[in-house]
Amino acid sequence: MQSWVLIRGLMRDKRHWREFEDDLTVQVAANKIDVIALDTLGNGTLSDCTSPLTITAYAKALVKQLTGNDNCLIGLSMGAMIALEMARLAPQKVSKVVVINASAANLSPWYARFNLKAIVTAYLGRVKQGAVHWLECTALKLSSERYGDNQAMCEHWSELRLDYRSKMHNVVRQIWACANFQTPDNLQQPIFVFNGSSDRLVNPSCSVQLSLYYKTELIEFEAAGHDISLDCPAALIAQLEKVLLS
C-alpha cells in the first residue's frame, strides 16, 4: 500500500492539519492510499523532546517511522526541508516528494526566506480579543490569507497549546536548523514544488529557485498564503492527486 506522509513546519504539529488530513484520506480512499501525519522532534506529541539543530537529525527520526517502500512525502515549510532530506537518506523508502512553501540557504537570501517585517506586521495586526494566545494569533495572521483574522480559528489554535506546545528554546533550535538547510543533491525521486502566491513569511521567489534547482514545474496557488492546506484545501488535494497518482 502506498502511504502519503504529511509533515508540518516550524512550531506546528499534526493537529494543525485540521480537517485537511481527514478530507485527503476520504478523497484518496478508493486508491487505497494510507494517509498519515507525523510530528517532528520538539513539536506536538514530541514537544518534550529536544529539537535538533540540523534538518538531517529531524529527517533521521522520521525515516525510522516509515513503513514499506512507497512513501510519498508532503512537507510544508520546514516539513518540506525535512522531506527532501528524508528522500536523500532513504531512497528505498521514499518514492515522491511534494515541497510546499519551502526555501534553502544555498538558493535564497535569508531575508527572502524569513520575512521579519511581515512577522512584526502580523504581530501588530493579530486578533487580540477573546481567549487567545498572542503567538498563535500572530502565526495564524502570518500564515493564512483566509483565516488570519478569524476569531474562532485563533481560539482553536490557542486551545491546542494547552495540551502540547513547542518550547521556546526548541523554537530557536528549529529556526537555526531551517536557516542552515541546504538542498540535497542528486535525489532519485520526482520532486514537486508548490507555493502560495500570497505567502508573507517566505517569499515565493524561494519556491521558484527550488523548482529551477530540481528542474520541476512550479505549481502556484493564487489565493493561498503560507499554509495552503488551510487556505485552499480542495485545490491542494486536487493537485496532490494529479502529481502523486500519475
Strand, helix or coil at 154? helix
100 forms bridges with which residues in the sheet? 76, 194
Q: Can you list the domains of the chain with their CATH numbers?
A: 2-244 (3.40.50.1820)
For the chain, give the mean pLDDT.
97
Mean pLDDT of 62-71: 96
Instruction: Work out the pLDDT band at 35, boundaries 50, 70, 90.
Output: very high
185 pLDDT more than 90: yes
Instruction: Work out the pLDDT band at 246, boundaries 50, 70, 90.
Output: confident
Mean pLDDT of 109-116: 97
The kind and range of the H/E element at 246 are: none
Mean pLDDT of 73-95: 99
Please state, in angstroms and rounded to a whole number, the distance separating the CA atoms of residues 199 and 202.
Answer: 6
Please state, in angstroms and rounded to a whole number, the distance separating the CA atoms of residues 212 and 164.
Answer: 38
| pTM for this prediction | 0.97
Per cent of the chain over pLDDT 70 is 100
Please state, in angstroms and rounded to a whole number, the distance separating the CA atoms of residues 113 and 9.
Answer: 13
Grid cell for residue 51: 529539537
Quote the DSSP letter at residue 83: H
Instruction: Work out the pLDDT band at 75, boundaries 50, 70, 90.
Output: very high
Contact 240, 31 (CB under 8 A): no
